[in-house]
Amino acid sequence: AVFQSLKNLCAERNCIRVDRVVADFEAAVWRAVKNVIKVEVKGCLFHFTQAVWKKIAWLKLKSDYHANLGTHIFSKKLMALPMLPYNHISQVFDKITTELPLHKELQDLVSYMKKTWIDSSVFCPQSWSWFEEPIRTNNDVEGWHRRLITRAKKS
């Protein structure tokens, strides 16, 4: 409903043309943008790495990440996947995940990556690949919103 209202308002006033939306990884928002506004949706690079890091923490891999160089480099490679051309991501992911023997928690991380990012119909690699893209996050917009809300509260 919100996206439809914004779309109608912008059409009435001819005030803005949206070609692409950069968003956090919230499936409901992505579906709404794709179905209502009908533009490309890209996932924020910061929020991608944050999601991977949260999964690392959830799997209790943080201490291993800090203590074990192999785990650290492996995790960083996974977090760097968005810097590749989208059509190379799956192949590089397969290469990374077969380079060294993985203990159970790292295997669980690989399963998460495969299900959530590599084979996902909602968050497919094309939607989070930032290869040769100058703007990779929505953090500047989030900061602007935060300042706007702070000023509005003071008024």
Task: Indicate the pLDDT class of residue 137, thresholds 50, 70 and 90.
Answer: low
Is the pLDDT confidence value at 78 over 90?
Answer: yes
18: left (phi over 0), alpha (psi -120 to 50) or beta: beta
Neighbours of 51 (CB within 10 A): 20
Per-residue pLDDT reduced to its tens digit, 81-113: 999 999 999 999 999 999 877 889 999 999 999
Q: Are the C-beta atoms of 42 and 138 separated by less than 8 Å?
A: no
Q: What pLDDT, on the 0 to 100 scale, is given for residue 99? A: 85
Lowest-confidence region among 57-66, 80-89, 119-128: 119-128
Q: What pLDDT, on the 0 to 100 scale, is given for residue 133? A: 79
Q: What pLDDT, on the 0 to 100 scale, is given for residue 23? A: 84
Is the pLDDT confidence value at 13 over 90?
Answer: no
Is the pLDDT confidence value at 149 over 70?
Answer: no
The stretch 14-40 carries a mean pLDDT of 81
Q: Which of 142, 115, 113 is nearest to 53 (CA)?
A: 113
Per-residue pLDDT reduced to its tens digit, 28-57: 888 888 887 788 889 989 999 999 999 999
SS3 per residue for the chain: CHHHHHHHHHHHHCCCCCCEEEECCCHHHHHHHHHHHCCEEEECHHHHHHHHHHHHHHCCCHHHHHHCHHHHHHHHHHHCHHHCCHHHHHHHHHHHHHCCCCCHHHHHHHHHHHHHHHCCCCCCHHHHCCCCCCCCCCHHHHHHHHHHHHHHHHC
**Cα–Cα distance, 35 to 106 (Å, whole number):** 36
Four-residue CA torsion sign, 101, 97, 132, 46: negative
What mean pLDDT value characterizes the chain?
86
Q: Are the C-beta atoms of 116 and 123 separated by less than 8 Å?
A: yes
Q: pTM score, two decimals?
A: 0.78
